Chain A
Amino acid sequence: DSGVTQTPKHLITATGQRVTLRCSPRSGDLSVYWYQQSLDQGLQFLIQYYNGEERAKGNILERFSAQQFPDLHSELNLSSLELGDSALYFCASSAPRGGDPNEQFFGPGTRLTVL
């Protein structure tokens, strides 16, 4: 158990809908990353937040957005869903206050299926 939690575990929805994925980082970690992993693909970096502020942006579609709240949990919002958005979405955290920022710990992922 990495200490990173993600909800829900599974999500099935229809095209055109909007969903929200939630991530709670390890206790004390300031940084949250979101990744998308399509079937048999590598990890695509979407976005990173550090202590509430956006730090880096990767291949994130305009239909997707994220935020990190004062309690450091993060949400990834996916809207106008398409079939191709079906994937495993990972959250990872790192950078504990005063600790080693150089390791990243992954949550179990949310499997999104768009029908």
Chain B
Amino acid sequence: AQTVTQSQPEMSVQEAETVTLSCTYDTSESDYYLFWYKQPPSRQMILVIRQEAYKQQNATENRFSVNFQKAAKSFSLKISDSQLGDAAMYFCAYRGTNTGNQFYFGTGTSLTVIP
């Protein structure tokens, strides 16, 4: 089975600074999708950004961008100009194309934003 690893249980960042959250995954597939989800204190799961493995260009959504390294099986999330509202748990997720649509989630990184 595919595994998704987030090695940073907790991270902190000063407001307006940049932070990078790490994610690695293990797969034998060549075509797949990667996601970052945000879970604020409300516990709602919110999709932040997605990346298709066949695309070489890194995805960007406003202040959120990814560094996708396919060979290294690495998918990190960069948050620029951090805001207090970015404080949340962040989950990395993987979906393969040969795994029956199942999504695999990492254990999450808790991000604290310091004013």
Contact = CB atoms under 8 A, between A and B. Distances in A.
A48 B105 CA distance: 15
Interface size class of A (residues with CB under 8 A): 20 to 34
Given A42-B91, A108-B44, A101 B101 contact: yes
Contacts of A90: 45
A48 B102 contact: yes
A55 B100 contact: yes
A33 B99 CA distance: 14
B64 interface: no
Given A45-B104, A94-B101, A105 B95 contact: no
Nearest to A90: B45
Contacts, number: 56
Interface string B96-109: 00011111111110
26 contacts: A31-B101, A33-B103, A41-B107, A42-B91, A43-B105, A45-B104, A45-B105, A48-B101, A50-B101, A55-B102, A56-B99, A56-B101, A88-B43, A95-B101, A101-B101, A102-B50, A102-B95, A103-B35, A103-B47, A103-B50, A104-B47, A104-B93, A104-B103, A105-B47, A106-B44, A108-B43
Interface of A: 31, 33, 37, 41-43, 45, 48, 50, 55-56, 58, 88, 90, 92, 94-95, 101-106, 108-109
